[in-house]
Structure 1
Amino acid sequence: MLLNDFHPAVSAWFNKCFPEPTAVQADSWPAISRGEHTLLAAPTGSGKTLAAFMASLDALIKEGLERGLPDETRVLYISPLKALSNDIQKNLQLPIVGIRDCLLESGLPDVDLRAWVRTGDTPQWERRRAVKEPPHILVTTPESAYILLTSDSGRNMLRTVRTVIVDEIHALAGNKRGAHLSLSLERLEALTEQQLTRVGCSATQKPIDDMARFLIGARDDNCNIIDTGHVRDRDLALEVPGSPLEAIMANEVWEEVYDRIAELVNAHNTTLVFVNTRRLAERAAKHIGERIGDENVTSHHGSLAKEHRLHAEQRLKAGKLKCLIATASLELGIDIGDVNLVCQLGTPRSIAAFLQRVGRSGHTVGETPKGRLFPLSRDDLAECTALLRAAENGELDRISIPEQPLDVLSQQIVAEVAGAEEWQQDALFDTVRRAWPYRNLERDVFDEVVRMLAQGFSTRRGRRGAYLHHDAVNGRLRARRGAKLTAITNGGAIPDQFDYEVILSPEGFKVGTLNEDFAFESLPGSIFQLGNTSYRILKIETGKVYVEDARGEPPNLPFWIGEAPGRTTELSAAVSQLRAGLDSKLDAGMQAGVQWLMQEYRLPAAAAEQLTHYMAGAKAALGLIPTQQRVVFERFFDETGDMHLVIHSPYGSRVNRAWGLALRKRFCRKFNFELQAAALEDSIILSLSTTHSFPIDEPARYLHSESVRDVLVQALLDAPMFPTHWRWAASIALAIRRNHKGKRAPAYFQRNDAEDLIAVVFPDQIACAENITGKREVPDHPLVRQAIDDCLHDVMDIDGFIALLKKLEAGAVEIIGRDLTGPSPLAQEILGARPYAFLDDAPAEERRALAVQSRSYMDPADAADLGRLDAAAIQRVREEAWPEPRTADELHDALVVLGFVSEVEGVRGNASTGQAELAFNWQHLFDELVSDRRSTVLTIDDTKLWVAAERLQEFATLQGTLNIEPTIEAIQVPNTGVESRSDAIRELLRSRLEGLGPVSAAALALSLRLSSEDANRALMALEQEGFVVRGNFSGSAKDGDPVEEWCERRLLARIHRYTIKRLRKEIKPVTPADYMRFLFHWHGLTDRAEGPDALSAVVDQLEGYSAAAGSWERDIIPARIDLFSANMLDTLCATGKSIWLRLGVRSANGEKRTSPVRNAPVTLIDRLAVPYWRNIAPLPDIDDKNLTSSANKVLDVLRSNGASFFVDLVQSTGLLRTQVEDALGELVNWGLVTSDSYAGLRALVTPSSKRPGFARRRGRRPAASGFDR
């Protein structure tokens, strides 16, 4: 469509403002002008919004010129964010005003075209005005559109709508807000009684056909898809710190990251820094503010008040703010002006989110977006590398549209029936089914929801949730009294997080919100940061925290629960592809891997070297790098002997969460033990107890694709996620009211209501566990089904997990087991997992994984040792396990414990120990037992065994007839658990294994002349008990294949412990001489530096170190700085860079301190760091009794007057100069005063007789200037 097809005034305005239409504009205008459904897909900054609006503006202008515009709303624009709606309304004024000016210039009549924004923040007077003068273009959010469709005035306003524009459709389609909106659109079409023209816009949509169906609904209409692609030229790069990344980033590495961001911010006019959590937004704002000035940076996230967010956006747009730290709150197209650079701290876990965020820079047509990605851990580095490659290849994440959420359906049914006053049940069902997420809704499910809304629930607080009158005879639905008000005040699909409002006193306005748990853990007087501002808590009430400005005092950082995003399926596949490629390249050596990453992934050398080194260590430890085609099960013991199983599965946290939770339930049923588990993007950890033992790859067969859903449902019912999602589903369905009588229902009320409700519809869920036998019977109730479905599809990815299990069953995914002496490099991150990764309710301080000791940095050559048990350790344990009797009684004990000893072992010792002397004098001792009839010789085939009388009964059960010499009577031992031959074999092998180290099943079978089947059956029974562990521990092989060995669990844990000790011993400490040489070099004592900059570096290096005041200029600094002079230190302090003071003074107990000040330990620190050091070393608690009268006078003057010159102190106190000096020295000793120059301290340290000019000017004192408290 050419511009001349528009009205001349519209075309004239466009030509004034733009050189030409963009591709998406030129391609979309014809279809939209014809009233056809249209979906626009184009990169950020390509003019999509104007493309969607232009045809509607043109139509309204033409209609206004032809017959005048009636006071009717014709265009409804819906955006996912209130701030975005405000921006669109402002940006709409530009073309409206411009077009009206063009009409005036052309001599044509004016057209009074009005646009208005309606959100939850719109004041009441504006809403009343809009009822009287409806806007022609209404800009709103899904939630406000829902309210308008439910209220009488809103329905009258929307009745004349002809076009609906849904912006950023991708942000809605993949969640319940999208399902909510789709029903609202069908309600709107039913209200207007004619087909609407639907227009959708987004930069990142996949699959685009599904997005088109979501937009227009389940009808036969076609949708024009204008797809100009999402790929554009971008300037993307990876930023890695100089220090190597670890599983958890150290503070010094964080400092490097903040320094680099500050450097980038200073090199650009405006910078947007995206982070994944609100806590990190506050933390980053604090540290970056220290580098570029607090006035140049602030944070932006959903827990800040809208006034703060709007102010931050306006400052950034006006160029008054250099840097804004944001979460996803700025991911969409809010107008924040020209942004030159986008930095992303940590992987955003999504290709689309990364592209959206980078697209905020270079936002206008023709500019190039610029983004820098900062990985925060070693796994982050691999994911960021894969993310950049996926973005370069034009890949996108697939958006999964929720299928028929019943809680949203319940709410919309109540709202629509209440708004329309009456509906035929059949007609309402047909309307609902036209919404794309509900296209497959079955009639019986719909009727079930209607019955629930008509009948409600009978709880201990009475009947609730009954909102409809259901006339089943005539198929009519009417609203009950109060239903409309409840639907309006409790609508929407955004779950309630129970945040506390933060109210600033005495002004009384809201500055943001805090997580409920953080508010609970805080006390009055606590200081926290919000929006890069420190606040002190005054009091805490239900739902509110009252604060005052803390005026920059060092704060704690608040936390918010459950906010880390999960990695998308497509990005997980990209990570697996990277791992597989690097695995193959590492076969040719480390350098080959580095070169491949630099060439194929365009990584800088430093990043390529770090990633290659990390993965090479993983391959050395595990034998390969885990991928989606090769999953590795890694097992190791911790320091306490507990076992840990790590599953390296790079399928993303949603699949891994499902796998870990289902395995946890299977282990619980199999071993009767509730183990601890956690899941991250690339791994799962199961922390086991001493009762668990199994072949390392066996857990891969614990679950089956046909039955895993039932297992997972039973597992999630016990997980912390279910109560939360149950409450959310119930509140969205209006079964629980979030607002009542115009006020927010307190959190504990809502929790109690949710518990009452679950007691009615699902009593087994909160029943006493002792009264439940077997699995819980899950009721077929709409809300229970929905809560479970939310857990399975939102928190977890049940479909992806089932697909993985099917691949396992088909052999398409290989399982590799590895027994290690300690955790591999890839296991480090899961061992330090955050609470959001936990799959059980054990607190962080009680995690079994804390007992695992591991190295933060591991060389690939050292990592290879993790897969090998030390032969000397195995031999040592074998020797320790085999008995060393010195008396007949001790030999008898050994025969009872071991079950038997062969005659060869009794004479020559156990062959496995290699120590024949261990059998020294055994024959003599055994003869003594035989003569006492306590033992005998049992012959099995050609093997003679020494057996104690207490074990003969088991041999009788095994053999039937015993061939013993001499004949003795078997002692009946009660409660042995031996009732059959298999029981006897099991118990005899159990005893035998307690005296041996790793041993093969064949060797055990031979010792008792058993068949291999009998021996293996008994060993597997012992394995089920957790008594033995199988594997290839000694490295023995037969015909090139490793021999399977069995080892008693405690002995194996001891072997692991000895192996780790041996590996630690190989880390040799340096000699004291080498260490001293390092210290001399590190402190610059061997090669002294020069100049003021070098002095600043020395003071920074020694910050926090205390030394006698007189030694700094005499000994410490001159040893490090060549040509040092006292004025250099004076200048450093006088410029405000550094300050001297005494730290760590213990509170007084009647003590006075008048010792010479030159002996007082003082430290030099950065002036900006004083508040933090004062947190560590607060001022001492003293009173007047601890100070001399002179010191008290000086201190009082300083308290009242503030910083004072020395002569002013003399005049104000009326003391002699010497008395003031002594008083200041005393106050320095207490750490109560400092000065703005080192000269002040020097004047106190230097004896009077040694000061310059003392002989000539006796009695005149140098000014100890600038003291303050």
Structure 2
Amino acid sequence: EDDLYALVRRAAPYADLARADFDAVVEMLADGIQTGRGRRGAYLHRDRVNGVLRGRRGARLVALTSGGAIPETADYKVVADPDETVVGTVNEDWAIESMAGDIFLLGSTSWRIRRVEAGLVRVVDAQGAPPSVPFWLGEAPARTAELSAEVSDLRARLAGYLERDDAAGARAWLMGEAGLGDDAAVQIVHYLGAAHRALGVLPTQEDLVFERFFDETGGMQLVVHAPFGGRINRALGLALRKRFCRRFDFELQAAANDDALVLSLGPQQSIPLGDVPRFLSPRTAEDTLAQALLASPMFQVRWRWNLGRALIVLRQRGGRRNPPPIQRMEADDLMAAVFPALAACQENAAAGPIEFPDHPMVRQTVYDCLHEATDVDGLVALLEGVEAGTVRTHFRESAEPSPLCHEILNGRPYTFLDDAPLEERRTRAVALRRGLPETARDLGQLDTEAVARVRDEARPDPRDAEEVHDALLGLVVRRPTPEWTAWFDELVRDGRAACAVTDAGPLWLATESLRLVEALLPGARIVPAVKLPEALAARPRPDAESAAVAAVRGHVSALGPCTVEELGALTTLSPNVVESALARLEAEGFVLRGRFDPARSGGVEFCERRLLARIHRYTTERLRQEIEPVTAQDFVRFLLRWQHVAPETQREGRRGLLAVVEQLQGFELAAGSWEEAIFPARVASYRPEWLDDLCLSGEVVWARLGLRAPAGSLGAAGSDARQEAEAGRGGAVPSRATPVSFALRDNLPWLFTAARGEAGPVLPGDGAARDLLECLRTRGALFYRELVVSTGRLRVEVEEGLWDLVSRGLVTADGFGGVRALLTARERWAKRAARPPRGRRLRRQAGEGIAVEGRWSLLPDPEPKDGAGESADVETLAEAVAEQLLARYGVVFRDVLARESFVLPWREVLWALRRLEARGVARGGRFVTGFVGEQYALPEAVELLRQTRRRERTGEIVRVAAVDPLNLVGILTPGPRLPAQRGNLVVYRDGLPIGEGARQLGPAAGARRLS
């Protein structure tokens, strides 16, 4: 024996093996385990006199056929007929649930089940028939301690940026530190930013967050945010579950993953949230966890695994495989023999913790559960940190779950710490929002209106003497209420009520509560004297504490959130008596303490559980109403603010104009309307110099994006094209109706592709326009005077030729002043025609021609696409268009794009919106009622949509030009469409069109009327 002990200790895992543990194992292998079927697992002859060990007959064969440390998984073999080729294995549970004829996928082949036998599934090739996918059950590995520490460190680093409101810095740090792309970094910052706003802190290994909220049944969910990994969180969840069980005598549902754990509290459990960390102590945590593990499935599984490793339950018997069901039954029988207290009937079990037998198999199984399935050492270290203050604890009562709760609330069966199936989980009663909350107000506090509403509902509001009597029975005592005096006097005359005169003033009471009042207020004088019925007089007298509890219970039920001082004033009880009564009610689960009324600053409040659940429900209902679809009228009100047309929402200055261009880029409308109606409506005190500065600096460019329709037809521009054709004879003469668009210069290439597709512009025939085009192609960008000299054309021909090229979408200019000059060319040439002729001269005077800085140049061609990259280019283009539409309208669906001129099919844009939703850039949902199809919105647009819904309708009048993108009459609102023609106006009152008509607007008038 000594030699064997020395040999075993030479192995590193057993270098510290105690002799007592070695002797216990030797004794088990020598004596075996006595069961009803005889002795099991005896493989050694032990000579205690001489200290010699010898193997029993058959021990060597057992070791060879059943030895091994890999546990038995009980999988079924899958055998293909007719040659009985083993093609794989499937899980036992899946095999038992399968039937002959089922088709499943194994590897890359579909198989049809012929028959399910004991431990065997016979199959044939299903010849490619559509299969189902089998499942395998197992124990999911937890995140390692090292990786959990890195996750915590990442959260801590990001929390620093979020506390400084530096989302851009957080995104840049993530991209540099973790090697993430921009989209992934944006999603992480957005997700953790929403969690930080909701909780006030990001959970790390130094900051533990306890969050509690109501579910739909009136119960509560307690989520502990702890990024310590699954092993520590499982240990913490099991230990807390055991402590709750001992305190409330009720088994809780619980689940844990790598980042959090959840305990589902029923209506009977009510404790101060701050007391939860004190439930566990580092000195007793291991014992508590060991007791919790006894009833968990992981103990039974590891017991069976250890019996197999110890050769007590054999894998092979008589040359054949011992069936897994038989192995499980044998393991259960051995459990009853070795650990009878665990297998005993619970009715006969002694109260208190279960004592562990001193047996090596039990000790090894407990050790495996504590150090493999869970991490008891990590749990003890965590509790020591909480006790020492190195791990900070934070407590949050939220109206609905924070974003970090969603994963654990939707946890799959591998996260469960109890045996309740998925369909019976109380976490399924928690309503979760689809998107992230935009403000901490959404989660961090209850709604003031909900609190006021519940207080109003809870307050007694009697309509006759009977209801006054009923209220007095519930309240025990009540201060006199003038509105109830007549009914109270009626009750006094009938002997059903009286008044208790105290030093603090009179109190009303019902006769049936006389004994309670006498115990509650010993020195009070009852006026008039009343006599109890014999049945009530025969009951035992209540003590003062019970009377105080009854009075406080009644008033808490009628007040909603209240303080100790308020209860004391209503009942004339001292604060100490009220606090003692509240403590008893809290232990019963009747009241909860916290800070519930946002209108109050500081102070601990108490609220009846039923009323608090109603407040939470009303708060959640309000939040849900805010994300319910708005009407088309409210959507128009939203658009007027989203595009800064509504009063007091205009942008300011040069940068404000740049933001307007960025929002409207790609939308084509009459050239003369941009500075008459569009920019003045969106930019306060608009000045044309701002636009010239942006154009000449290279930030903004103007051009006609779409293609001019052939003569006799209407293009995408609709009314604008009609006006252009009528007013400008095909675009040769400068016309204010010619549609143009503004854009950021960097976005011009993809906007061309989105507006033109594969088509190209129609080139001009012989004439001034053709000469100008060739001149620009040959010499590049030129000033107006250079074009006159280079082509040898008259100025009027050059101006008409330039505008012809503009209307064809072929040229642009550095500044917008050239467009203004061209649009006024006819007036200038008419004035010149009225002057007397001066004769021909070579020298020109300053100011002749187009008086504006900037050169004319050809527009770039859209980048050609090769066949291989066409699909990717379409996706990229569709995403750019989708992002632009989201920026323009905030909420995008098919109907709202009726006036857009992009040629890209809606289906491509729709798929792009779906991809943006998957990346977290946009949200899908139902935002506007009355329209079919999918809808998507920017997160900031959703919040503004809510604000618009809440905003009172005051009859606000907003006028917009008919060419404005916000002319959505007949598209979003009922009625015929209003043609998008210059001079037409749309008048909105609270988002509804109330008037429309034609009115000629000059630049100054437009600025005044549309601001």
Query: Structure 2 residue aligned with 1:934, among 496, 515, 524?
Result: 496
Deviations 1:663-682 (A, max 9, x none): 11111111111110000111
Q: 1:434 to 1:1004 in 2, by over 3 A?
A: same
Partner of residue 478, structure 1: 54
Is 1:985 the counterpart of 2:558 in the alignment? no
Structure 1 residue aligned with 2:933: none
Write the letter of the residue equivalent to 1:674.
Answer: E
Indicate whether 1:642 and 2:219 are aligned.
yes
Alpha-carbon distance, 1:765 to partner: 0.9
TM-aligned CA distance change 1:1096 to 1:999, over 3 Å: closer
In structure 2, distance between residues paired with 1:804 and 1:473: 49
2:133 to 557, 576, 582: 557
Match of 1:717 in 2: 294
- Contact 2:68–2:309 under 8 Å retained in 1: yes
3-state SS of paired residue (2:347): helix
User: Is 2:621 the partner of 1:1044?
Assistant: no
Residue identity matched to 2:531? E
Give the structure, 1 or 2, with the largest relative contact order (CA under 8 Å, sep 6 or more): 2
Give unmatched runs, 5+ long, in structure 1. 1-424, 904-918, 1102-1269
Matched to 1:824, the amino acid is: S
Which residue in 2 is equivalent to 1:962? 524
Q: Give runs of aligned pairs for residues 211-610 of structure 1, distance below 5 A.
A: 425-589=1-165, 590-610=167-187
Cα pair 2:143 2:229 within 8 Å, conserved: yes
Q: CA deviation at 1:1068?
A: 4.5
Instruction: Tell me, in whole angstroms, the C-alpha distance in 2 between the residues paired with 1:1089 and 1:970.
Output: 83
Q: Does the aligned pair in 2 maintain the 1:616–1:860 contact within 8 Å?
A: no
Which position in structure 1 is the counterpart of 2:575?
Answer: 1012
Corresponding residue of 1:231: none
SS at match of 1:699: helix
Matching of residue 864 in structure 1 with residue 864 in structure 2: no
2:430 maps to which of 844, 852, 863: 852
Deviations 1:1079-1126 (A, max 9, x none): 99866996899999979979999xxxxxxxxxxxxxxxxxxxxxxxxx
Tell me: CA distance 1:856–1:507, structure 2 relative to 1, closer, same or farther (3 Å).
Answer: farther
> Counterpart of 1:1049 in structure 2: which amino acid?
R
Given candidates 808, 814, 819, the residue that maps to 2:386 is 808
Question: 1:860 deviation in Å?
Answer: 3.1
| AA in 1 matched with 2:573 | L
Distance 2:906 2:171 in 1: 39
- The structure that has the greater radius of gyration is 2
What residue in structure 2 maps to residue 658 of structure 1? 235
Matched with 2:626 is 1066
Q: Which residue of the other structure, out of 771, 793, 810, is the alignment partner of 2:371?
A: 793
Give the structure 1 partner of residue 256 of structure 2: 679
CA-CA distance at 1:1003 after TM superposition = 1.7
Taking only the aligned residue pairs, the percentage that are identical comes to 49
Q: Check the 8 A contact 1:644/1:685 in 2, yes or no.
A: yes
In the alignment, structure 1 residue 730 sits paired with structure 2 residue 730:
no
The answer as to whether partners of 2:515 and 2:542 remain within 8 angstroms in 1 is no
Question: Is the contact made by 1:498 and 1:747 (CA closer than 8 Å) also made in structure 2?
Answer: yes
Alignment partner of 1:926: what SS? Answer: helix
Q: Deviations over 1:268-321 (max 9, x none)?
A: xxxxxxxxxxxxxxxxxxxxxxxxxxxxxxxxxxxxxxxxxxxxxxxxxxxxxx
Letter aligned with residue 964 of structure 1: I
SS of 1:647's partner is strand
2:752 maps to none
Write the mapping of 1:997-1008 to structure 2, written as runs, cut at 5 A.
Answer: 997-1008=560-571
Distance 1:984 1:958 in 2: 5
- Deviation of 1:1070 (Å): 4.0
C-alpha distance in 1 between matches for 2:472 and 2:902: 80
Cα distance, 1:440 vs. partner? Answer: 1.5
Measured in 1, the distance between the counterparts of 2:576 and 2:500 equals 23
Deviations 1:1182-1212 (A, max 9, x none): xxxxxxxxxxxxxxxxxxxxxxxxxxxxxxx
1:450-479, Cα deviation, whole Å (9 max, x unpaired) = 111111112122221111111100101111
Q: Structure 1 residue 975: deviation in Å?
A: 12
Output the amino acid matched with 1:698. D
Distance 2:89 2:910 in 1: 40
* CA–CA distance in structure 2, aligned partners of residues 495 and 567 of structure 1: 22
2:616: which partner in 1? 1056
Show CA shifts across 1:165-185 (max 9, x none): xxxxxxxxxxxxxxxxxxxxx
Give the structure 1 partner of residue 348 of structure 2. Answer: 771
Provide the secondary structure at the position in 1 that maps to 2:116: strand
* Cα drift, residue 599 of structure 1: 3.6
Aligned counterpart in structure 2 of residue 1027 of structure 1, from 590, 601, 604: 590
Q: What TM-score results when the alignment is normalised by the length of structure 2?
A: 0.62
Contact 1:1036 1:1043 in 2 (8 A): no
- Letter of the 1:948 counterpart: A
How far apart are residue 438 of structure 1 and its match?
A: 1.0
| CA distance in structure 1 between the partners assigned to 2:386 and 2:271 by the alignment | 19
Q: Which amino acid aligns with 1:427?
A: D
Asked if 1:667 is matched to 2:241, the reply is: no
609, 616, 623: which one aligns with 2:200:
623
Q: Does 1:611 align with 2:611?
A: no
Normalised TM-score (structure 1): 0.50
Question: 1:714 touches 1:776 (CA, 8 Å); kept in 2?
Answer: yes
Task: Give the structure 2 partner of residue 826 of structure 1.
Answer: 404
For 1:1075 and 1:965, the matched residues in 2 are separated by: 64
SS at the partner of 1:999? coil
The alignment yields a C-alpha RMSD, in angstroms, of 2.9
Distance 1:1089 1:521 in 2: 56
* Gap regions ≥5 residues in structure 2: 637-887, 913-1011
Q: CA deviation at 1:724?
A: 0.7
Distance verdict in 2 for CA 1:679–1:600, change over 3 Å: same
Say if 1:847 and 1:526 are closer, same or farther in 2 by CA, change over 3 A: same
Cα distance in 1, alignment partners of residues 472 and 345 from structure 2:
48
Q: Does structure 2 conserve the Cα–Cα contact (< 8 Å) formed by 1:576 and 1:627?
A: yes
CA distance in 2, matches of 1:1081, 1:959: 68
The C-alpha deviation readout for 1:40-73, integer Å capped at 9, x for no partner, is xxxxxxxxxxxxxxxxxxxxxxxxxxxxxxxxxx
- Per-residue deviation, residues 659-705 of structure 1 (Å, max 9, x unmatched): 10111111111111111000011100001100011111211110111
SS of the counterpart of 1:995?
A: helix
1:1152-1179 deviations in whole A, cap 9, x for unaligned?
Answer: xxxxxxxxxxxxxxxxxxxxxxxxxxxx
Q: Give 1:921 deviation, angstroms.
A: 4.0
The change in CA–CA distance for 1:1078 and 1:738 in structure 2 (over 3 A counts) is farther
The runs of 4+ residues in structure 1 deviating greater than 4 Å are 970-979, 1072-1101
Structure 2 residue aligned with 1:157: none
Give the Cα–Cα distance (whole angstroms) in 2 for the partners of residues 850 and 954 of structure 1: 43
Separation (CA, whole Å) in 2 of partners of 1:635 and 1:579: 22
Does structure 1 conserve the Cα–Cα contact (< 8 Å) formed by 2:478 and 2:571? no
Q: Is the 8 A contact 1:539 1:546 kept in 2?
A: yes
Q: Using the TM superposition, give the Cα deviation of residue 442 of structure 1 relative to its aligned residue in structure 2, in angstroms.
A: 1.3
Structure-2 separation of matches of 1:1043 and 1:459: 64
Displacement of 1:577 in angstroms is 0.8
Does the CA contact (< 8 Å) of 1:617 and 1:864 recur in 2? no
Distance, in Å, in 2 between the alignment partners of 1:826 and 1:753 is 44
Paired residues of 1:586 and 1:592 also in contact (CA < 8 A): no
2:94 partner amino acid = F
1:1215-1243: CA deviation from partner (whole Å, max 9, x where unpaired): xxxxxxxxxxxxxxxxxxxxxxxxxxxxx
Task: Measure the CA separation in 2 of the matches of 1:582 and 1:977.
Answer: 64
Cα distance in 2 between the residues matched to 1:612 and 1:1086? 31
1:496 to partner: Cα distance:
0.8
Secondary structure in 1 matching 2:130: coil
2:270 to 693, 703, 708: 693
- Aligned-partner residue type, residue 472 of structure 1: R
